[in-house]
Amino acid sequence: MPKTYDAVCLFSGGLDSILAARVVMDQGLAVKCLHFTSPFFGHPERMAKWAALYGLDVECVDVGDAFVAMLHRGPANGYGKVLNPCVDCKIFMLARARELMRSYGARCILSGEVVGQRPMSQRRDALNAISRDAGVRGVLVRPLCARHLDISPVEEAGIIDRDRLPAIAGRGRKVQLELARAYGFAEIPTPAGGCKLAESESARRYWPVLRAAPRPTAADFDLANVGRQYWCGAHWLTVGRNRADNERIESLAGEADLVLRTVDFPGPLAVGRRFDAADWPAEVLRGAGALVASFSGKAVAAGGAVRVSVTVGPGRGRDRFELAVAPERTPAVGWAEPGWNAAKVEIRERMRTLRGE
């Protein structure tokens, strides 16, 4: 692989981003594909596959914490149907590519966007606003649809030959599929997809974190992605559904977190995240213990109070104490799973506040 590149390409792994890189590589340019990852999107495990199947030079860039900070501030251009801030996301990724491009020696940025393909972020006016707000107007080329757009400085400078690019527009996939077949790809990926922010099942997990955490981090959303989620006011409990969940949850436990387990019976592992290491009220903690015990069939069958251990931080035996609680799925103090409908109402309200309405 070359040490310097002519272009960096925003690379989701979807067909459009693959083609954006390949049509420019066909002009003899060296392209570094940047695959941004976060708790919400990204497939770093596919790197080798992309190299083998599509002949691409891909690098993963973890943008989780910076992306979470953007989400927490509130995306200026709002959300799509769920919690997906697509316009701000594109601006964020292009701005990050602009920061990185010089380190690769690149003179331009490529993006697989296609004008008219998506209602929110790929309208012509949205594409213009995105490149303006990301500060990439002088360096950005959208190779798949460039011929439908005003000529870019990169094309004017002759770095990329506009006449050798395809001219794709709209929602159809016909031209992309023809191109993929012409390249002889053994596997044709679907359009990018797979962003958890666009799925209500994930968004209902994320919204309480954005609302309650004073300074949310990517690690918070890694935890929100796992197991069953419960909230009691600003107190957050994640309960494993199976052994893989339990192991993952334990690996994500931070130094200030509470780790709960049933002592005498097999049961799930749970982590209570304590923002700013704040103590939990005794009744909230007892409710959490009762909830965790309720997922142990043998503890429930035993009847009466059972022991639940609580340790502070990962590992066993450090700052450990025990609760004696009766298993209870809906404890009186009000632990409950967050729902999407309630989150949706709050998200819309927040957007109105951000817009000053």
73, burial (CB in 10 Å: exposed 0-12, middle 13-18, buried 19+): exposed
Count of CB atoms situated within 10 Å of the CB of 169: 17
Whether the Cβ atoms of residue 110 and residue 24 lie closer than 8 Å to each other: yes
Angle between helical axes of 200-212 and 340-354 (0-180°, round to 10)? 60
> C-beta of 145: minimal distance to ligand SF4 in Å?
16
Taking CB under 6 A as the criterion, the residue among 18, 68, 179, 197 binding ligand SF4 is 197
Q: Under the criterion CB under 6 A, does residue 13 sit at the interface with ligand SF4?
A: no
> C-beta of 123: minimal distance to ligand SF4 in Å?
14
Q: Under the criterion CB under 6 A, does residue 122 sit at the interface with ligand SF4?
A: no
Query: In the structure encoding, which two tokens stand for residue 89, read together?
Result: 């996301």
Phi, psi angles (nearest 5°) of residue 291: -65, -45
Whether the Cβ atoms of residue 109 and residue 98 lie closer than 8 Å to each other: yes
Judged by CB under 6 A, the number of residues near ligand SF4 is 9
- Which residue number, 115 or 197, has a Cβ lying nearer to ligand SF4? 197
Taking CB under 6 A as the criterion, the residue among 85, 112, 143, 331 binding ligand SF4 is 85
| Span near ligand SF4 by CB under 6 A; candidates 82-90, 127-135, 176-184, 266-274 | 82-90
Query: In the structure encoding, which two tokens stand for residue 116, read together?
Result: 């008219």
Spatial distance between the Cα atoms of 167 and 142, rounded to a whole number of angstroms = 10
Interface mask toward ligand SF4 for 135-164; x: CB under 6 A: ------------------------------
Taking CB under 6 A as the criterion, the residue among 5, 41, 206, 280 binding ligand SF4 is 41
Interface mask toward ligand SF4 for 89-118; x: CB under 6 A: xx----------------------------
Q: Under the criterion CB under 6 A, does residue 198 sit at the interface with ligand SF4?
A: yes
Handedness of CA 64, 66, 67, 73 (dihedral sign): positive
Phi, psi angles (nearest 5°) of residue 273: -85, 125
- Which residue number, 90 or 142, has a Cβ lying nearer to ligand SF4? 90
Q: Which residues bind ligand SF4 (CB under 6 A)?
A: 41, 84-86, 89-90, 195, 197-198
